[in-house]
Structure 1
């Protein structure tokens, strides 16, 4: 079994609003890319067994070489489970020639109502060894901060 990375955050929005942002193409493009990146969804099929393909582009590739090319990470994601408004389970595969990025990483987005908001916990299991743990956890935390800003502004 591979490595597990995890991060969580309380977001001032109800679980249904947060869940909706996990399954809306334009929303995902806006909040999922961590700081220093932008994202573009090339394929979108938001149903169990469906998924999406996202191209993440580094705004400054000099300090962060990409997995797919010098400036990009391309990831194919399949929706393994959709349980509204509690959980989204994704299986992610990076396009990369480097075998240290090979394999399928599972990303579980767990939503729990807390007070007037939602605690979102992201658990990444079987993280490929080529992905730096500290950078990955920082990236997940950044995406969660972006998600909070996105849904709290809309709510």
Structure 2
């Protein structure tokens, strides 16, 4: 049964700087892959209706086999909505032969100015059953930690 996962983090960086990291392919490859993975884009077009294909490769696949191949996850995503300086909504599909990973997950990334800098909220709706809640929570937290390190430098 698909579910909704949420995560957030406050970063000591201005909204504009954090926002830019949500739509720039070089920034995304630096911070989006969670710990233990590296990413690369095969294509990237950040506009409503645009899309991207990202290959996430495990640095050690022995304990975390990939969804697309033994050592990688492949993500096909469409930009559903982009509100500059505020929100990015993506429709995300994992490339996999496993029906447990089928279905489109909607990822919404929002940035909000707060006294300490910028709060980033991410909501993942319709998370496929094959993505464990524990692993997804850890992955979201890792990506947010990476984003904070990237934005706060």
TM-score by length of 1: 0.97
Q: In the alignment, is the contact (CA less than 8 A) between 1:21 and 1:28 conserved in 2?
A: yes
Q: Check conservation: 2:10, 2:116, Cα contact below 8 A.
A: no
The alpha-carbon deviation at position 116 of structure 1 amounts to 3.8
- In the TM superposition, residue 79 of structure 1 has moved relative to its aligned partner by 0.5
**Aligned-partner Cα distance in 2 for 1:123–1:116:** 21
Aligned residues: 153
Q: Give, in whole Å, the separation in 1 of the partners of 2:51 and 2:116.
A: 30
Q: TM-score by structure 2 length?
A: 0.98
SS at match of 1:85: coil
Aligned residue number for residue 121 of structure 1: 121
Higher mean displacement: 92-101 or 12-21: 12-21
**Is 1:51 the equivalent of 2:67?**
no
Deviation >2 Å, runs of 4+: none
Corresponding residue for 1:83?
Answer: 83
Over the residues paired in the alignment, what is the CA RMSD in angstroms?
0.9
Give the drift of 1:106. 0.3
Deviations 1:80-134 (A, max 9, x none): 0001111110110000000000000000001110014110011000000000111
Q: Structure 1 unaligned segments of length 5 or more: list them.
A: none
